Structure 1
Amino acid sequence: MQTLVTPFLMFQGRAEEALNFYCQIIPDSRIIELQRYGTEGPGKEGSVKMARTSIGGLEVMCIDSPVEHAFTFTPSFSLFVTCRSEQEFEAIVAAIGKGGGVLMPPDNYGFSRRFAWLNDRFGVSWQLNLGQLELK
């Protein structure tokens, strides 16, 4: 068996909503598997016990935590999206920015002709880039 590293997102009641949103706005995305808590718990019945999704080809796991935590997502960890066109970039920036927060507004920052860093309405951080980064 191969060692596998997979990003894991912990939500507190909005995992399925977030996954559906990501699959709607990021091309080549889909929910692979979704398990729900039943009446036996420990999570709220119907909430996400475990999910696997492919976001633009990257497999990501997530849950709705049955335990309330004093922390949430941080921009220190983000999902980096390389967009194929200006139109795709603008559409994803608009969708992720709606109800979220802007960390770096869309602009030319030198390392990229079009880049933005946003938090979505669920608190997940996204770096969006048009084309290839110019690493030096």
Structure 2
Amino acid sequence: MKFIPYLSFDGRCREAFEFYAKVLGGRIEAMLSHGETPAGAEVSPGWQDKILNAHLVTEAGELMGADSPPEFGSAEQKGVSISIQIEDEARAEAIFNAFADGGTVTMPFETTFWAKKFGMVTDRFGTSWMINCAQAQ
């Protein structure tokens, strides 16, 4: 068994996953639009090109996601953060800064009592991230 976070978007899933693949160094394994499936008949015409399912694989794990048409409920992501545990401080800071560009920094990326560096940010797509560089044991 494994857990794979599944993210909801307001129509920007393709853009978000392309961005995440670039920033996290991953590859998109699947990107299927509503219109490419029988489910396309269930969404409004403006949502045919929006994503029904996306799957990103990185060295550290996987993310999945989709666009949530308004008629199916809110795409707002609440109460969950994706936590990245990373040893390479320079790479961690680059990831944090990429997510902060156009996003909202909740906690600056800085030294804490438990980590060489830690920061919290919500990216421009509404995904909340926690970037942690643990102190050496």
TM-score in terms of structure 2 length:
0.82
* Alignment CA distance shift 1:84-1:53 (3 Å): same
- Is the partner of 2:28 in helix, strand or coil? strand
Cα deviation 1:33-74 (Å, max 9, x = unaligned): 111121635251211011111244322221111235456112
User: What are structure 2's unaligned runs of at least 5 residues?
Assistant: none
SS of the residue corresponding to residue 113 of structure 2 reads coil
Code of the aligned partner of 1:21: F
Other-structure match for 2:124: 121
Gaps of 5+ in 1: none
User: Is contact 1:97-1:119 (8 Å) kept?
Assistant: yes
What's 2:24 paired with?
Answer: 26
Residues 23 and 98 of structure 1, relative CA distance in 2, 3 Å threshold: same
1:73 aligns with 77
Count how many residue pairs are aligned between Structure 1 and Structure 2.
130
Contact 1:42–1:66 (Cα < 8 Å) also in 2: yes
Q: Which residue of 1 aligns with 2:12?
A: 14
Aligned 8 A contact 2:68 2:74 in 1: no
Question: In 2 relative to 1, CA 54–100 (structure 1 residues): closer, same or farther, beyond 3 Å?
Answer: same
- Please tell me whether the aligned partners of residues 28 and 56 of structure 2 are also in contact (alpha carbons under 8 angstroms): yes
1:50 aligns with 2:53: yes
Q: TM-score, structure 1 length as denominator?
A: 0.83
Q: Distance in 2 between matches of 1:9 and 1:106?
A: 23
Task: Look up the equivalent residue of 2:7 and give its one-letter code.
Answer: L
Please tell me whether the aligned partners of residues 82 and 132 of structure 1 are also in contact (alpha carbons under 8 angstroms). no
Per residue, is there more helix in 1 or in 2? 2
| Backbone CA RMSD of aligned residues | 2.2
